Amino acid sequence: MNKPVRLICLTCLLLGISSYLLADRAHDLASQAASQQAINCDPTSLDSATCHDQFPTGCSDAARPAYDAYLNFLKNQTPGPDVPSTTLLTGDDFLSLEDQLHQLPGRLTSRNHARFASSLADLNEGNIVTVIGYLYFAEDTGKGSSRGTAFGETCNCKLQLPGSFDYHLGLGFDAALAQQILATKPQPDHNNPGDMEQTSVVAEMTPHTHHPKWTFGRVNSLQGRQVKVVGQLMVDNVHFNSKDDCNFPNSGPNCWRATVWEVHPVTQFYVCNLDGGCDQSSPDSAWTSLDDLP
């Protein structure tokens, strides 16, 4: 009689250990921060696949690359859709996380992410999270934006090839604003940002994690709709300043994002199919995967 009990207890223990290790993905990534290096390369010799196979932190054709290597290392992670979410984040949660960046032991700048890797992992950076909100807007960064023409990012080896750019998504939490957006389909204007831009949380679909059916047209068709987004929680410290971040102290009038915390990369994307809207208790049948949309 004792053996089955011991077996069950052992199974429970193993499941507990497995859950702990899964939830500590954040610190597993943080432990690799110090070893990430900015790399020089020739982008003309690469495509999107070879870029991410050969350069975990991306690369640059600059003689002395000066980008934040650990930031790019996080951006280039490829967690599969089978990696489960560890928590649900609301708009208020993102603002609370933003406040905690100012409590770090030192000043987070655009190039010192690795210095704070462990502290940020304590705040859940690197773990997979879920966000239920509204798709305020989507941008194909390969087509440029109101901020300027398209340019290759170092995380994508500065490539300017088809399929080598991110999709930049703005997620929000105001149902009334989302209804206006659904009706009028405004384009984001980062030169003259309003509530749509300034209250948005950024999510990024990266070229090396795109599903075959994750086309920009399919994503963009959902502007204003309620969505559920799953992906890696990450701080884009390049934008931790008063010019970009609307919740940075003394932020400027042209700030264009609510926080530097992002969902990057996105690993799962769903749209609510219920007329009355969805919430975290809604069954799976209430959500339609982006892959399954017509």
Of 45, 237, 36, 238, the C-alpha closest to 159 is 45
Cα–Cα distance measured from residue 265 to residue 248, given in angstroms and rounded to the nearest whole number: 23
Give the residue numbers spanning the domain of 272. 81-153+166-292
Tokens encoding 94:
């993102």
For residues 206 and 131, which has the higher predicted lDDT (pLDDT)? 131
Judge whether 198 lies within some domain.
yes
Cα–Cα distance measured from residue 271 to residue 278, given in angstroms and rounded to the nearest whole number: 9
pLDDT tens digits, 153-170: 999 999 988 876 789 999
> Residue holding tokens 């790399």?
39
Is a pLDDT exceeding 90 seen at residue 150? Answer: no
Cα–Cα distance measured from residue 279 to residue 284, given in angstroms and rounded to the nearest whole number: 11
Judge whether 26 lies within some domain.
no
Would you state the pLDDT for residue 210? 62
What is the Cα 38 distance to its own chain's centre?
21
Number of domains in the chain: 1
Judge whether 178 lies within some domain.
yes
Judge whether 258 lies within some domain.
yes
Judge whether 34 lies within some domain.
no
Cα–Cα distance measured from residue 24 to residue 122, given in angstroms and rounded to the nearest whole number: 9
Is a pLDDT exceeding 60 seen at residue 250? Answer: yes
Judge whether 103 lies within some domain.
yes
Judge whether 32 lies within some domain.
no
Tell me what percent of the residues of the chain surpass a pLDDT of 70: 88
pLDDT level of residue 283 (50, 70, 90 thresholds): very high
pLDDT tens digits, 78-118: 999 999 999 999 999 999 999 999 999 999 999 999 999 99
Please give the model's pTM, rounded to 2 decimal places: 0.89
Judge whether 14 lies within some domain.
no
> Residue holding tokens 């399919």?
218
| Domain CATH number, residue 247 | 2.40.50.140
